[in-house]
Amino acid sequence: MRRRDKEITDRELLDAIINQAEICHLACSWNNQPYVVPLSFGYDGQSVYLHTAPSGQKNEILKSNPQVCLGFESGVKLLADPDQACHWSFIFSSVIATGNAEEITLSTQKEAALNQIMLHYSGRSWDFPKDRLSNTILWQVELITVTGKKSQENSD
């Protein structure tokens, strides 16, 4: 990281940023073509859980190349300067993580993964109809690397 003064190394703070994020940006590559998509997610402190429809481009990509990069941000606020265009900036905290996406196939693990996603947004566990579980593809990304950055007011 170029700006070490903005680097976040504390794992608890990195986890807090992930837990505060509303969206996970999934970046992957297929035939040397980048692909990024915002997704809902769940996080258990070691792995990120994602869900997809039974078919689609994400599934094809993840099955052919499971290496992914995930992006999260929280506390985003625009800092506007009415007089100087070059003084506009943002306050934010962000996390970039890497890992390998692995499809979850067992019903009990699928239900646990869906509940991790729902816990992130609703704060509680749910019961899922079996037909919903069979029609949903779930992915687990165990995090390999996790880095963070923060930018605060009056920071260059």
Looking up residue 68, the CATH number of its domain turns out to be 2.30.110.10
The pLDDT score that the predictor gives to residue 92 is 92
For 126, the token pair is 């749910």
Tell me if 142 is assigned to some domain. yes
Q: Note down the domain range covering 43.
A: 4-149
Total tally of structural domains belonging to the chain: 1
**pLDDT at res. 156:** 42
* Euclidean distance between CA atoms 65 and 100, whole angstroms: 9
Q: Per-residue b/e over 108-126, b at no fewer than 16 CB within 10 Å?
A: eebbbbbbbbbbbeeeeee
Asked whether 70 and 141 are in contact (CB, 8 A), the reply is: yes
What distance in Å separates the CA atoms of residue 57 and residue 35, rounded to the nearest whole number?
9
Q: Is there a domain that residue 19 lies in?
A: yes
Cβ neighbours for 109, distance < 8 A, ≥ 6 positions apart: 138
Place of tokens 């039974």: 54
Query: Cα 51–62–126 angle (5° rounding)?
Result: 15
Whether 33 is covered by a domain: the verdict is: yes
Classify residue 154: in a domain, yes or no: no
Coil, strand or helix at 128: coil
User: Along the 156 residues of the chain, how does pLDDT read in single tens digits?
Assistant: 566 677 899 999 999 999 999 999 999 999 999 999 999 999 999 999 999 988 889 999 999 999 999 999 999 898 898 998 888 888 999 999 999 999 999 999 999 999 999 999 999 999 988 888 888 999 999 999 999 999 875 444
Helix, strand, coil percent values for the chain (each to nearest 5): 30, 45, 30
In a domain, 37, yes or no: yes
